């Protein structure tokens, strides 16, 4: 690749939940197992399947009963979100050794601008070093896509899994990208690609043909159509700004469950784990927030965001917990959930916090002033000429 072209890596951890399970329980290595569901009650659905289980035809979102019918000796591993957060942090910390220009795509994927490091070492050599280093130091297998834009890098990382490294240059788009099924195009939703297939758009290449434009516009807006074309043809963003989130207006944490979970206690437990992680970031970065919210996406992919604004900016965990608990009780009614999240809005630096004079802060200030004046009066009584209360006389 030429040095005047951006070199973007998309690094995607392979079967992340399953990889974490093997790290914690090494006996699972090379075994057919799934993460999610319950073997005791034979209910729920598969969140992630090990590659050995996938070879048997078991996949994510499959009912546990169906998976165990395929392979009765299938091992079922419970979800462990605290474990995933731990290894996600190690993953991003490892990548920062190579470049400070990183965008977190999700808990297990990252976009990294490797243009500068590639001036002194070939991108393929760097990719292999990162891949081997993650396995050696953290036992995390990954696939890496190398391309001149974020979108093409994302598409490239999906082309060879597990442990693949794929280069996708603009001159490779026709040969490597065009033949792929339209359903594999990143950004095309689960409701959109069946509509495209129904009108004859079976591949990414077919999407780009001018004679199909009118048909495609019956499925999506013109702005979306042109945006997808720019992505496919390598005309979309190649820019990663690590400073963009240095002082965020909001902080959020969410996870896709990969199967429809409707156990209220389990969902709330996940939200609590996310609140703890998000609150730790708030405190670590010396920030305070005034609004807390929850995000819920159901099995129909309908998203609900609900928030509560507190009386003042704070970093008090219990205040956030109480508000989140109320929001969950008021807005969750037993629907199967596919994604849950927690967010803080109205975030500012703690050092920039300025007290507003409302009823509560005014009363607090008044009490402090009364104590100060009592102290002053005591000193004045003992030493009458030593201290005044700062009252300016006017002539």
Q: CA-CA-CA-CA torsion for 313, 316, 303, 226, nearest 10 degrees?
A: 60
pLDDT tens digits, one per residue of 80-90 = 888 998 999 99
Does 389 or 229 have the greater pLDDT score?
Answer: 229
Enumerate the domain spans of the chain.
1-168, 178-246, 247-352
Of 223, 227, 169, 229, the C-alpha closest to 205 is 229
Task: Compute φ and ψ for 234, nearest 5 degrees.
Answer: 80, 25
Contact criterion met (CB below 8 Å) for 87 and 23: yes
Question: Whole-angstrom Cα distance, residue 79 to residue 77?
Answer: 7
Question: Hunting for tokens 């129909």 — which residue is that?
Answer: 300
Q: What integer pLDDT is reported at residue 365 of this predicted model?
A: 45
Residue 344 pLDDT > 90: yes
User: Does residue 371 carry a pLDDT above 80?
Assistant: no
Residue 370's pLDDT band (boundaries 50, 70, 90)? Answer: low
Residues 37-49: pLDDT tens digits?
665 556 678 889 9
CB 292 within 8 A of CB 310: yes
Marked catalytic residue, from 109, 116, 197, 325:
109
pLDDT category of residue 374 using cuts at 50, 70 and 90: low
Tokens 């099995």 locate to: 299
Question: How is residue 320 written in tokens?
Answer: 């956030």
Q: Class assignment of domain 247-352?
A: alpha beta
The pair phi, psi for residue 32, each rounded to 5°, is -85, 110
- Per DSSP, helices labelled H in 76-221 are 81-95, 123-138, 150-157, 193-198, 204-208, 213-216
Distance separating alpha carbons of residues 259 and 37, to the nearest angstrom: 9
| C-alpha distances in Å from residue 141, one per residue of 7, 123, 135, 165 | 22, 18, 6, 12
Pairing mode, strands 142-147 and 165-167 = parallel
- pLDDT band for position 106 (cuts 50, 70, 90): confident
Cα–Cα distance, 13 to 338 (Å, whole number)? 20
The pLDDT, as a whole number, for residue 256 is 84
Q: At what angle do helices 81-95 and 264-284 cross, to 10 degrees?
A: 30
Kindly tell me if the per-residue pLDDT of 393 is higher than 70: no
- CB 181: neighbour CB atoms within 10 A? 12
How high is the pLDDT of residue 375? 63
In terms of Cβ atoms closer than 10 Å to its own Cβ (0-12, 13-18, 19+), residue 60 is: middle
Q: Is 169 helix (H, G, I), strand (E, B) or coil?
A: coil
Cα gap 255→19, rounded to integer Å? 17
Please provide the CATH number assigned to the domain covering 1-168.
3.30.70.270
Please state which architecture CATH assigns to domain 178-246.
Answer: Orthogonal Bundle (1.10)
Q: Say if CB 233 and CB 208 are below 8 A apart.
A: yes
Q: Phi and psi dihedrals of 148, rounded to 5?
A: -85, -5
Query: What residue has token string 């990663």?
Result: 240
**109: annotated active-site residue:** yes
Of residues 80, 141, 142, the one with CA closest to residue 112: 142
Interval 134-165: pLDDT, tens: 999 999 999 999 999 999 999 999 999 999 99
Q: Report which DSSP code applies to 392.
A: P
Quick one: which of 307, 179, 209, 331 has its CA closest to 250? Answer: 307
pLDDT at 333: 87
Question: Phi and psi dihedrals of 149, rounded to 5?
Answer: -135, 165
CA 169 from centre of chain: 27
Q: In the predicted model, is pLDDT for residue 93 greater than 80? A: yes
As given in the structure block, the two tokens for residue 61 are 């979102």
Q: Is the pLDDT of residue 301 over 80?
A: no
Residue 148 burial class via C-beta count within 10 angstroms: exposed 0-12, middle 13-18, buried 19 and up: buried
Between CA 180 and CA 152 the distance in angstroms is 13
- With a CB cutoff of 8 Å and minimum separation 6, the contacts of 156 are 10, 145, 146, 147, 166, 167, 168
Question: Is residue 59 classed as helix, strand or coil in its secondary structure?
Answer: coil
């Amino acid at each position: 690749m030429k040095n005047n072209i951006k070199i973007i890596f998309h690094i995607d951890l392979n079967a992340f939940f399953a990889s974490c399970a093997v790290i914690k329980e090494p006996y699972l290595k090379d075994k057919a197992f799934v993460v999610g569901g319950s073997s005791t009650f034979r209910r729920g659905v598969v969140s992630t399947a090990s590659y050995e289980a996938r070879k048997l035809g078991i996949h994510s979102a499959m009912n546990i009963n169906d998976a165990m019918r395929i392979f009765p000796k299938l091992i079922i591993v419970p979800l462990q979100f605290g474990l995933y957060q731990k290894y996600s942090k190690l993953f991003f910390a490892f990548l920062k050794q190579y470049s400070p220009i990183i965008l977190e795509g999700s808990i297990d994927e990252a976009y990294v601008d490797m243009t500068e490091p590639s001036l002194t070492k070939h991108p393929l050599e760097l990719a292999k070093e990162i891949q081997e280093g993650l396995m050696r130091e953290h036992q995390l297998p990954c696939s890496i896509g190398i391309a001149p834009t974020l979108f093409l890098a994302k598409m490239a990382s999906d082309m060879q899994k597990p442990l693949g490294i794929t280069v996708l240059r603009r001159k490779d788009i026709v040969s490597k990208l065009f033949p792929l099924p339209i359903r594999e195009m990143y950004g095309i939703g689960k409701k959109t690609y069946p509509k495209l297939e129904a009108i004859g758009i079976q591949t990414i290449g077919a999407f780009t043909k001018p004679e199909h434009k009118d048909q495609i516009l019956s499925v999506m807006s013109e702005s979306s159509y042109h945006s997808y074309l720019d992505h496919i043809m390598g005309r979309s963003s190649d820019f990663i700004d690590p400073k963009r989130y240095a002082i965020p207006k909001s902080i959020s944490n969410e996870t896709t469950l990969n199967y429809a979970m409707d156990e209220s206690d389990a969902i709330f437990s996940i939200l609590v784990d996310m609140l703890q992680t998000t609150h730790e970031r708030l405190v670590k970065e010396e920030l305070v927030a005034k609004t807390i919210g929850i995000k819920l996406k159901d099995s129909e992919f309908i998203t609900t965001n609900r928030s509560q604004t507190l009386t003042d900016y704070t970093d008090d965990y219990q205040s956030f917990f109480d508000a989140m608990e109320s929001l969950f009780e008021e807005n969750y009614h037993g629907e199967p959930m596919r994604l849950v999240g927690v967010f803080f809005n109205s975030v500012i630096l703690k050092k920039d916090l300025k007290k507003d004079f409302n009823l509560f802060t005014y009363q607090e200030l008044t009490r402090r002033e009364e104590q100060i004046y009592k102290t002053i009066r005591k000193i004045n009584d003992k030493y009458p000429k030593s201290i005044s209360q700062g009252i300016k006389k006017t002539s």
